[in-house]
Amino acid sequence: MSRRPFIAGNWKMHKGPAEADALAEVLKRALTGQGSVDVAVAPPFLSVPAVVARLKHSGVHVAAQNLHWEQQGAFTGEISGEMLRQAGVTYCIVGHSERRALFGDTDAVVEKKVHACFRAGLLPIVCVGETLDERESGQAEAVVRRQLAAALGKLTADQLPSVTLAYEPVWAIGTGRTASPAQAQEMHATIREWLAERYPPFVPRGMRILYGGSVKGSNAAGLLSQPDIDGALVGGAALVSEDFLAIVAAAR
Ligand code: PGA
C-alpha cells in the first residue's frame, strides 16, 4: 500500500479573514480537481470560516492550528474541537513546537488534545521534534520516542491510521536551516520503527509522516523522494501561493 502524499500549510498567526480568503482563492483555482496529493491549510481561527467557505468543493481541506481538550466551558480564549468541526475543519495540528515552547503544551497536554480530536471527529496532525541542544547532545531519538509515546500511547491500532505525524526538528523551523534529506529520512525511519515495534504492520505501513522545518519549493523534491517522508508541514512558504504550489507540485 503506498501512502498518498500530504502537504499541509500552517499559516500560524498570519492572514486575517480578507487576506486568508484571497490566498485560499488562488489555491482553489490551482488545486481544484488535482487528485494525487492531499492538501490542507491551517489558517488562524478567526479566518477559518472564510477559508472553509472559499475552499468548499475544491478538495483542499482546512485544518486548525490548535484546540482545547474540553468540549465547552469556562476556558476564556479557547476553542474546542467540537466548534472546529462545526465550522467545517477536517484536521487539527497538535503539539506544534511553538505551542510546546511558548504556550505550555506539555506531553500530557498534547495527549489530551489528541484524544479531543478523536472525540470531535477531527484528524490530528501530531508534531514531534527535538531542539538543537537535544540533537547536539545525542538525545534526538529519545526525545521523539518520548513525544510519540505520550501523544499516541493510549490510542488503539485502529485509531492510528487517522493520525498524521509531523517530524519537525525545532532547529529547522523558521530558521532557513532544513534537515538534509538523509537526516530527515533517518528520523522518519526511526518513527516508523517505533510504530512497527508496537502495532500491527498496517499501522507503520499506513501512517503518514510529514517533514516540517523550512520546506521550500527548492528543497521539497529532495525531502519528498525519501521513502519514509510522506509529505510536508510548511510554515513560511505556505504564505505565498507560488511557493506553496511549488511544494504541492513536488509531491506529485
Ligand atoms: P517553517 O515552519 O516552514 O516556516 O520552518 C514549519 C512549521 O512550523 O510547521
Kindly list the domain boundaries of the chain, sorted by start residue.
Answer: 6-250
Cα separation of 236 and 51, whole Å? 18
Cα separation of 219 and 176, whole Å? 11
Catalytic residue chosen out of the listed positions 61, 96, 115, 188: 96
Q: Which residues does a 6 A CB cutoff place in the pocket of ligand 1?
A: 10, 168, 173-174, 212-215, 233-237
Residue 65 C-alpha cell reads as: 492550528
Q: What is the pTM of this model?
A: 0.97
Q: Which residues in the chain come in under a pLDDT of 70?
A: 1
Domain 6-250: assigned CATH number = 3.20.20.70
Question: What's residue 181's pLDDT?
Answer: 97
Question: What's residue 107's pLDDT?
Answer: 98
Question: What's residue 26's pLDDT?
Answer: 98
Cα separation of 62 and 53, whole Å? 10
Cα separation of 20 and 16, whole Å? 6
Active site (annotated) includes residue 78: no
Active site (annotated) includes residue 168: yes
